[in-house]
């Protein structure tokens, strides 16, 4: 159903255009939670739903620090956040955080999370996606910006060949972290969630033959007041179809 030639086309078109603008990260109407990690229990096990979260960060540099209310769901407290130290010799530059979840039965997939970094912490995230669970291709990337501010991030798959991520048991997202300058610097992740809406047969039953994706990566900080001053600057990376 998803052969190598189609995967190559998806890679080319997903990488073909990147546009930066400033917007507010929208919510998705009537979305169902597929999996949520809030890290309030100090581990990488999903707190609701089913999914796997793994990392190549040195285990000695994995810790849990105070969390965020930004993008919290179902009354979850701020609690704790997953944190990675840059490590001795900045050894965690290039480390990966990867989450996998089956989207079987769902479309309009949204992946969201919150970041915060300290001075000298890992500051750039390259984002990759997979539709077969093995081969990954670029979905763009972004810098987290100034230190000690919460940044809410959403990766939205909507229409075109983004439907390849719908109804898919092998859905996976990989974040590759770089930019650390201080061994004691940290980057935090909190309130990671994958959501979707129930599949329509007309959408999930058919995959396009010529990839023309309209995958959108939206980065925002001004969703709700959470008791701290959150910067009102928001950004969007729109990875869309462009024929060469």
Q: Which domain holds residue 126?
A: 4-240
| pLDDT confidence tier of residue 145, bands split at 50, 70 and 90 | confident
Report the distance separating Cα 220 and Cα 235, nearest Å: 6
Distances in Å between the Cα of 87 and the Cα atoms of 83, 95, 150 are: 12, 11, 22
Q: Averaged over 80-95, what is the pLDDT?
A: 98
SS3 54: strand
pLDDT, one tens digit per residue, over 105-120 is 999 999 999 999 999 9
pLDDT, one tens digit per residue, over 5-38 is 344 334 443 433 222 222 234 444 458 999 999 9
Least confident residue range of 40-44, 59-63, 93-97, 223-227: 223-227
Any idea what the CATH number is for the domain that residue 92 is in? 2.60.120.260
Report the distance separating Cα 238 and Cα 22, nearest Å: 11
Report the distance separating Cα 60 and Cα 179, nearest Å: 19
Number of domains in the chain: 1
Quote the pLDDT of residue 216. 47
Q: What angle do CA 108, 7, 205 make, to 5 degrees?
A: 45
pLDDT, one tens digit per residue, over 153-211 is 888 887 677 888 999 999 999 999 999 999 999 999 999 999 999 998 887 765 443 34
Report the distance separating Cα 99 and Cα 134, nearest Å: 13
Report the distance separating Cα 238 and Cα 121, nearest Å: 26
Q: Is 243 exposed, middle or buried (0-12, 13-18, 19+ CB in 10 A)?
A: exposed
Nearest to 196 by CA among 51, 35, 42: 35
Q: Where are the alpha helices (DSSP H) in 143-243?
A: 201-204
């Amino acid at each position: 159903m998803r052969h190598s030639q189609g995967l190559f086309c998806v890679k080319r078109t997903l990488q073909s255009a990147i546009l930066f603008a400033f917007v507010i990260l929208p919510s998705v109407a009537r979305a169902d939670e597929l999996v949520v990690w809030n890290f309030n229990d100090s581990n990488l096990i999903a707190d609701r739903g089913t999914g796997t979260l793994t990392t190549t960060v040195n285990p000695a540099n994995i810790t849990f620090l105070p969390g965020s209310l930004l993008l919290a769901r179902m009354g979850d407290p701020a609690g704790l956040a997953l944190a990675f130290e840059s490590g001795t010799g900045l050894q965690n530059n290039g480390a990966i955080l990867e989450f996998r979840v089956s989207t079987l039965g769902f479309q309009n997939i949204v992946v969201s999370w919150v970041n915060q970094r300290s001075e000298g912490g890992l500051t750039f995230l390259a984002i990759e996606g997979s539709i077969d669970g093995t081969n990954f291709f670029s979905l763009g990337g972004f810098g987290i910006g100034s230190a000690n501010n919460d940044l809410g991030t959403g990766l939205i798959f909507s229409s075109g060949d983004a439907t390849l991520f719908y109804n898919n048991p092998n859905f996976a997202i990989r974040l590759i972290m770089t930019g650390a300058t201080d061994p004691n610097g940290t980057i935090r992740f909190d309130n990671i969630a994958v959501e979707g809406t129930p599949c329509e047969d007309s959408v999930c039953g058919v995959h396009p033959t010529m990839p023309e994706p309209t995958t959108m990566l939206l980065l925002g900080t001004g969703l709700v007041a959470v008791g701290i001053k959150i910067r009102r600057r928001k950004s969007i990376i729109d990875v869309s179809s462009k024929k060469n």
